[in-house]
Amino acid sequence: MSFDIFHNLIIKAPINKVFDAVSLPQHLNNWWTLKSSGKPELGLEYNLNFTDDYNWFCKVSVAEPNASFHLKMTQSDADWNPTTFGFDLVTTKEGTLVKFSHVNWPEANHHFKYSSFCWAMLLNGLKNYLEKGVIISFENRN
């Protein structure tokens, strides 16, 4: 048995801007990571650095421009390692529907529940970044 996190939200921005914000390192660093690197191409590696202690790696498992972007963790911690997270995007009258998922958690433990809360907060940060140009400093993102 595995456990999954799902969040849906509308962002009042064109789908290509949302795709870039969830897949390009220069944008990830403005709402999620301290510093990251990678290219949104199937099978390529991303480095997601949050601190020296949380310097994680993953591979692109889905990369469909302006539609879907998913990363499979390859080097992180025991809870995150078996997981894949991603963004499926749909254009709506209001903007872009973001269907976020973070799946295959081994346990519904404290870390799983806290990560679900953190994702909700970070996705709100993504929304504010795209809609209002708000960049919250890395130190204030939790």
Q: What is the mean pLDDT of residues 7-31?
A: 98
Average of per-residue pLDDT values in the chain: 97
Domain count, the chain: 1
Residue numbers of the domain that contains 110: 3-140
For the record, the structure tokens of 115 come out as 């990560």
H or E element at residue 115: helix 110-132
pLDDT (tens digit per residue) in 91-142: 999 999 999 999 999 999 999 999 999 999 999 999 999 999 999 999 998 6
Q: What is the mean pLDDT of residues 77-90?
A: 97
> Do 83 and 65 touch, CB atoms closer than 8 A?
no
What's residue 11's pLDDT?
A: 98
Domain at 74, CATH number: 3.30.530.20
Give the single-character DSSP code of 134: -
What's residue 141's pLDDT?
A: 83
